Amino acid sequence: MNQSTAIVTTPVERPARPGWPEIIAGLAAYAVLYAAVIVYLYHAALPASVEGIVGFALSAAIGLGAFAVAALLRIRRLAPFGVRRASLRSLVAAIGFGILAWLLSALASGLYQAFTGDHQNIQAGYQAAASGGLLTYLLSAVFGFVATPIGEEFIFRGVLANALGRYGAWISVLVSAAVFALVHGLNPVLPVAFVVGAINAVLLRRTGSVWPGVVVHGVNNALAMTVPVIVALASS
């Protein structure tokens, strides 16, 4: 008599939310990709406007690449990282928060420069791209106002702030914002990144979605790049 043996498979239990493995893997991947981009831009010697566009595109790629490493490590689903639908109301409100973030960031950056004497403009390439003509502005908009916010919000809010949420709101918001700021370096952009990071971490906790933060980030970047262009054109 032939006896058949039933093979029972136990479903793999995947974590309900990201944790330290995702933080470590995501930030490690981000560091490696970031270093590679710095080396490339240093040796490429691109014109300022082209460097700005390439910089935006690579910033988006770094964030999305690091997020992919973290997401594929264990969870392999997007919803636990906050990549889920947001209400129309929250997205519209995020436009207002984006304007607020830009205003607060301008104030914070001004105070930083007043106290430190650091007036370096590390975003000159981005500004050159935005002011280089219609084509370069449109490319800056695609990569700088849309793609880069998506990449950075996915990794810093979707992974980092989400994972730190187990330790409470203060840790999640302040630590993730501080890491996001430090990634931008010790320069006048540091306080800007902290303000944007803190606002977006709060929005993530309130809505459960990274998309309002993407809108805030995009509006902030758009204003930061576009307003100087408008001022320059008006004064010329």
For the segment 169-208, what is each residue's pLDDT rounded down to a tens digit?
Answer: 999 999 999 999 999 998 999 999 999 999 999 999 999 9
- How high is the pLDDT of residue 221? 96
Q: Which two tokens stand for residue 187?
A: 């320069």
What is d(CA 129, CA 135) in angstroms, rounded to the nearest whole number? 9
For the segment 125-177, what is each residue's pLDDT rounded down to a tens digit?
Answer: 788 888 888 899 999 999 999 999 999 999 999 999 999 999 999 999 999 99
Measured CA angle at 68 (ends 91, 64), to 5 deg: 55
- How high is the pLDDT of residue 13? 63
Percentage of the chain modeled with pLDDT above 70: 94
Q: Which two tokens stand for residue 162?
A: 């989400």
Residue count of the chain: 236
- How high is the pLDDT of residue 172? 98
Average pLDDT, stretch 60-87? Answer: 97
What is d(CA 26, CA 73) in angstroms, rounded to the nearest whole number? 9
Decide if pLDDT at 10 tops 60: no
